[in-house]
A and B are shown apart, each in its own frame.
Chain A
Amino acid sequence: MGKYLQYAKRNIRRTPFQAIAASMVMFLTFFALLIFLTLAAGSQEILRFYESKPQVIIFFKDNTSAADVNAIQNALSQEARVASTNYVSQEEALQIYKERNKSDPALLELVTANILPASLEISAKTPEDLGPIAELMSKEPVVDQVLVPKEVVANLTAATRVIRIVGLTTVTFLTAFSLLIILMIIGFKIRLKRSEIEIMMLIGAPNSLIRMPFILEGIFYAAAGALSAWVITYTLLWYFSPFLQNYLGEVQLLPVNPLFMLSLLGVSLVISFIIGGIGSLMAVRRYLRI
């Protein structure tokens, strides 16, 4: 293997511009792959977050008395489908609002507790219970609005599906494109080294010594592209983490888990070995008939 690597290294070193071009094309493929994998994993996490919180939020009309709220809470505590309830008064709602918008004083100036409705967060035992609970609560005369996150979950599920389909299509196209690029570059190099190959064959070099450096070269280009794409993706995620986390609100996804990024690196490298290996193997079989 050492000799194969030595030959592959020499091949790469002697044509640096081809090596850079090949690695850059591979970078594009893996950058797209990593972005879509990150998006898919992120949206899956967000979905799981909402699914793990089967909750109905009811907002009370103004001037709803404490007795009315208590009556509803008592009724719900008897309900088998309800896991727990949490009352959020107008004052508490104001505190939450202030906490969320503390960086923007303009938003805080005109808001008082009176304009924020009191609410009751009702946790259901399963997501299937959300519908009946919401229906039950909507009949209560003191309830102004019922918010069911079922629609949020449905929207997120649809978005995740779109991300997967678009991602898979793009990555499939780029993978095929990368395979062809590797095939073309290695094929070109084989043609360029025709006389060297001929001499190697005449002096009795085994086929493996002629073929393997080309295959390793293809793998190197793909792996270099994968590694650089991973570094760039990680850097971008790290840089934009505060902004993105602010956007995500209470769903704690960022900063991204280093273990997740390491597993992404592992997946990328495995895929790069497959793309580089298959692409160069195809070139060797096509252009190096020995």
Chain B
Amino acid sequence: MIKFENVSKKFSSSIIALDDINLEISQGEFIFLVGPSGAGKSTLLRILTREITPTSGQVSLDKVDITKIKESEVFKLRRKIGFVFQDFKLLDDRTVFENVALTLEALGKDDDEIRKQVEHTLKLVEIWDRRNLFPRQLSGGEAQRTAMARAIIGKPEILLADEPTGDLDPKTAWGVIQLLNEINSWGTTVLMATHNSEIVNSLKRRVVTLKGGKIIKDSKEGKYDL
């Protein structure tokens, strides 16, 4: 489904973020991307969303080379992908409901449909009672659940999570992971960059380890091993 072939990304002649990456990800997989800071995890995710393009190599999603998609068509690629970030990236001047509705507004859904789907999704991530609050009024876990609701409401094929538990306490972090697990059980491919060894070791999922822009390990039921 997702294929990285000889992908390299250089930000300058001395800064090599990714170096000849070859990686294949099947539909419905749950993959942990691990590695020290600066290993290239976030760069890999950003290439997949076409925020940046690789210096060389090919990245295909459903056999379409996403590096060759026209700028004006990139939004169609992004509709297949949901995002969750460490800093949540919620809009401060919008309520929980409005933040989640944003994805459906971008998809051009009508108001009735938006209301129904947002209600369903907020109930699913258990923050329906917080729907009228603004991000600054939420706890870290609630904010991350809001971000996840926004990411999954458009029913994406892939969910990218960049350090989603980085700012959360262990209990809340586990809640987020359980939610990601559930989303994966629906058939959504989940790609999660993390430093949390406890989570990686407990879940026993595929682990891709990056270091210095290279994949140094790719194990099926891997462990956090640096």
Q: Which residues of A contact B (CB under 8 A)?
A: 3, 14, 195-196, 198-207, 209, 290
Question: Contact at B91–A195, with CB atoms within 8 Å?
Answer: yes
Q: Which residues of A contact B49 (CB under 8 A)?
A: 202
A203 proximity list for chain B (CB < 8 A) = 78-79, 83, 102-103, 106, 150, 154
- B interface residues, Cβ below 8 angstroms from A: 49, 51, 71-72, 75-79, 81, 83, 89, 91, 93, 102-103, 105-108, 150, 154
Which 3 A-B pairs have CB atoms at the shortest separation, nearest pair first? A205-B106, A204-B79, A204-B78
For A204, what are the chain B residues with a Cβ–Cβ distance below 8 Å? 75-79, 81, 103, 106-107, 154
Report the bound CA distance from A205 to B154 in whole Å: 12
A14, A199, A203, A205: most-surrounded residue (chain B CB, <10 A) = A203
Residue contacts A-B, CB under 8 angstroms, 15 given: A3-B105, A3-B108, A196-B91, A198-B89, A199-B89, A200-B106, A202-B49, A202-B83, A203-B83, A204-B76, A204-B77, A204-B78, A204-B103, A204-B107, A207-B75
7 new A-B contacts at CB < 8 Å, known A203-B83, A204-B154 = A14-B93, A202-B83, A203-B79, A203-B103, A203-B150, A204-B76, A206-B106
Q: A3-B108, A199-B102, A200-B102 are in contact. Are A205 and B75 (CB under 8 A)?
A: yes
**Which A residues touch B81, using CB under 8 A?**
204
Please, how many angstroms separate the alpha-carbon atoms of A209 and B75 in the complex? 11
Q: How far is the CB of B96 from chain A (nearest CB, A)?
A: 14
Q: Specify which chain B residues have a CB less than 8 angstroms from the CB of A196 in the assembled complex.
A: 91
**Which residue of A has the minimal Cβ distance to B153?**
A203
Closest to B99 in A: A199
Residues of chain A with a CB closer than 8 A to B72's CB? 207
